[in-house]
């Protein structure tokens, strides 16, 4: 007999060799019905796994994240089996789990189009209804090479494996896989294929381009339907679509990943820059501007040439016979600025801020509108502190982050502490100190956090703040990085209270992050319906007839003199048509002017929610708008 211990601490005796499914059945028939896998002594295994010694066990259903991952991975196999049934000459490569779903990369003579997804889905449904048993086998490497002899991609993977290879079967289909998987195909009921994209084998642009078919999967049909509604809403909110409708920005093949901001988009960007200077920076920050092209020797000194060169744009300058790098970040230049000065402990913290354009060599296939770009600007600051000032400065930054996100109605969802990566600058002991500084600051700030092992910057650990938008989607925005290394490499110093020269520590921080990316995020977050202070146009005057245009021009001059952004739609179109066009452009206030409004010096106002109010005092309404913008309010009610 063996003793099985359950998550609540209770124990029970079972025969040696009992399967996880048998244990689930004894606990509860309902649990056995819902079970997808098990966790035995911390390891996730199939329900058919046999236990031969005293063990701790947790039966996993699709309600647990680990169980949902098993469902999603099983759906990747389900899709792969359907593709092979329909298109037998297809070569399968890999099919991992991703956020909310799965994908499979395939090499096929068939060029898959969106309309093909429904055909594949139908065959997937057939396989689900066949209720095929899913089984695991362990075979030798040589056996695996024979089984997959006709698939060069699988052969490449097998050759990198140890002597034992695991495969999974369901009906006529089999695939290389570590597992685990659900016990039967009938357990897979809540999934949908979403899109087709291109992908290079193993992410290497020198390899053949494959076709990547994506899907989403959930534990229940209800959860899937809810997610699909979010996807539908996300499509309506796509910042690329809204950006085009609102004439905010454009992209061009001559500058991939480098957006062109059109006049209205530039208006929003200028408002964000003003916000950065007033709120993200604020008093005590010293704003600078540094060169965008710098000698490679600087990047070698900072460590970027060794650790970040592939993500930089760089070139050789023939006349001076030097290598140069186009600036991907501001920190090395800010080190030079600090080094030029003479500082004592009384001058610290010393904060250097900059929002000039940076350039990063992102892969072409990852470029997406404003949210993944090659040219970007940040609310970027480097704070030079003594070791004693680290925690209080970080606590103050965390408070500032909470305040700033509240202005945009973005809710902090998760905070990650990213620790020392595999390749890093400096000594392990220094990293331990830096990581403890961040942990202490988070605790003192009363914030929960997750450890993200090995994902720190090469020069220091970092805090990453993730927010949720209006659709519940997560975005990583703020970052606070603690750097003991670069000040040492640049031989920075300050005079301490005891008269000794000491090396400062640098806090790298950005709160909005890339302004381009943040712009794209808030377009989708607000669905283009920006708060009044951010709107590229605050109001549009809609004269009912030509005789009302001159009055609208006078109003426009008065409002613009107060700093408001106003347009007049004087086209010979009907008022309902003008209203519809203004709604497409997401202009928050549509003001109709006719004989009655001119006679009574009033306004007839409509907002984007369809609320209409007549007889509004012109002067009172103007003051209300100005007060709303001054306070950067989220909403405007009249």
Active-site residue list: 331, 360, 378, 380, 382, 462, 508
485 contacts 460 by C-beta, under 8 angstroms: yes
- 457-471 burial, b for 16+ CB within 10 Å, e for fewer? bbbbbbbbbebebee
Query: What are residue 356's phi and psi, to 5 degrees?
Result: -70, 165
Residue 233, SS3 per DSSP: helix
505 contacts 430 by C-beta, under 8 angstroms: no
Please list, in sequence order, all residues whose beta carbon lies within 8 angstroms of the beta carbon of residue 602, skipping any fewer than 6 positions away: 596, 614, 615, 616, 617, 618
CA nearest to 220, candidates 426, 440, 376, 68: 68
70 contacts 182 by C-beta, under 8 angstroms: yes
Give the whole-angstrom CA distance, residue 197 versus residue 119.
17
CA nearest to 407, candidates 263, 276, 563: 276
351 contacts 284 by C-beta, under 8 angstroms: yes
Query: What are residue 122's phi and psi, to 5 degrees?
Result: -60, -40
Query: What are residue 78's phi and psi, to 5 degrees?
Result: -60, -45
Token match 């057939």: residue?
126
DSSP secondary structure string for all residues of 463-524: EEEEEE-TTS-EEEEEEEEEESHHHHHTT--EE-TTS-EE--EEEEEEEEEEHHHHHHHHHH
Give the whole-angstrom CA distance, residue 369 versus residue 359.
15
For 107-116, the CB contacts below 8 A with 24+ separation are 107/153, 107/201, 107/208, 107/210, 107/211, 108/83, 108/211, 111/211, 112/196, 112/211, 112/213, 113/196, 114/195, 114/196, 116/196
């Amino acid at each position: 007999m063996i003793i099985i211990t359950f998550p609540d601490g209770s124990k029970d005796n079972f025969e040696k060799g009992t399967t996880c499914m048998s244990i689930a059945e004894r606990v509860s028939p309902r649990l056995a019905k819902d079970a997808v896998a098990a966790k035995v002594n911390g390891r996730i295994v199939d329900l058919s796994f046999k236990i031969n010694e005293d063990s701790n066990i947790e039966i996993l259903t699709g309600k647990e994240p680990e169980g949902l991952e098993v469902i999603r991975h099983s759906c990747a196999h389900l899709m792969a089996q359907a593709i092979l049934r329909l298109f037998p000459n297809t070569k399968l490569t890999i099919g991992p789990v991703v956020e909310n779903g799965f994908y499979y990369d395939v090499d096929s003579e068939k060029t898959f189009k969106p309309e093909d997804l429904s055909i594949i889905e139908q065959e997937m449904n057939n396989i689900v209804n066949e209720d095929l048993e899913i089984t695991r086998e362990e075979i030798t490497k040589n056996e695996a090479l024979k089984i997959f002899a006709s698939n060069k991609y699988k052969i490449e993977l097998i050759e990198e494996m140890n002597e034992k290879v695991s495969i999974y079967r369901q009906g006529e289909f089999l695939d290389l896989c570590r597992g685990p998987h659900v016990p039967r195909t009938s357990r897979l009921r809540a999934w949908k294929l979403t899109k087709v994209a291109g992908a290079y084998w193993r992410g290497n642009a020198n390899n053949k381009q494959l076709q990547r078919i994506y899907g989403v999967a959930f534990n229940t049909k209800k959860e899937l339907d809810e997610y699909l509604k979010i996807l539908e809403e996300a499509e309506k909110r796509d910042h690329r679509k809204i950006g085009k409708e609102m004439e905010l920005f454009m992209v061009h093949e001559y500058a991939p990943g480098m957006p062109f901001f059109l006049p209205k988009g530039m208006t929003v960007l200028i408002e964000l820059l003003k916000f950065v200077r007033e709120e993200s920076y604020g008093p005590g920050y010293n704003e600078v501007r540094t060169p965008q092209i710098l000698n490679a020797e600087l990047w070698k000194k900072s460590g970027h040439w060794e650790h970040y060169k592939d993500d930089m744009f760089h070139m050789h300058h023939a006349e001076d016979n030097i290598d140069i790098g186009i600036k991907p970040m501001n920190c090395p230049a800010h080190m030079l600025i600090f080094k030029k000065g003479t500082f004592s402990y009384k001058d610290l913290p010393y904060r250097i801020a900059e929002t000039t354009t940076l350039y990063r060599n992102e892969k072409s296939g990852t470029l997406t509108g404003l949210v993944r770009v090659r040219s970007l600007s940040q609310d970027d600051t480097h704070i030079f502190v003594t070791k004693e000032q680290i925690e209080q400065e970080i606590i103050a930054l965390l408070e500032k982050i909470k305040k700033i996100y509240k202005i945009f109605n973005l809710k902090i969802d998760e905070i990650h502490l990213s620790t020392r990566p595999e390749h890093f600058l400096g000594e392990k002991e220094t990293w331990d100190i830096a990581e403890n500084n961040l942990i202490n600051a988070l605790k003192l700030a009363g914030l929960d956090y997750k450890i993200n092992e090995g994902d720190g910057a090469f020069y220091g650990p970092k805090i990453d703040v993730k927010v949720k938008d209006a659709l519940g989607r997560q975005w990583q925005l703020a970052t606070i990085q603690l750097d003991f290394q670069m000040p040492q490499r640049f031989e920075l110093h300050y005079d301490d209270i005891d008269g000794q020269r000491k090396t400062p520590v640098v806090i790298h921080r950005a709160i909005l992050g890339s302004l381009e990316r943040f712009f794209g995020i808030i377009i989708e977050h607000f669905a283009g319906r920006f708060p009044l202070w951010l709107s590229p146009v605050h109001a549009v005057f809609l004269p009912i007839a030509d005789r009302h245009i001159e009055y609208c021009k006078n109003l426009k001059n008065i409002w613009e003199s107060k700093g408001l952004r106003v347009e007049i739609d004087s086209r010979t179109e009907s008022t309902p048509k003008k209203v519809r066009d203004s709604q497409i452009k997401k202009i928050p206030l549509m003001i109709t002017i006719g004989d009655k409004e001119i006679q009574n010096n009033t306004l007839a106002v409509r907002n984007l929610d369809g609320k209409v109010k007549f007889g509004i005092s012109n002067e009172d309404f103007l003051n209300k708008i100005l007060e709303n913008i001054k306070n950067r309010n989220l909403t405007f009610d009249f």
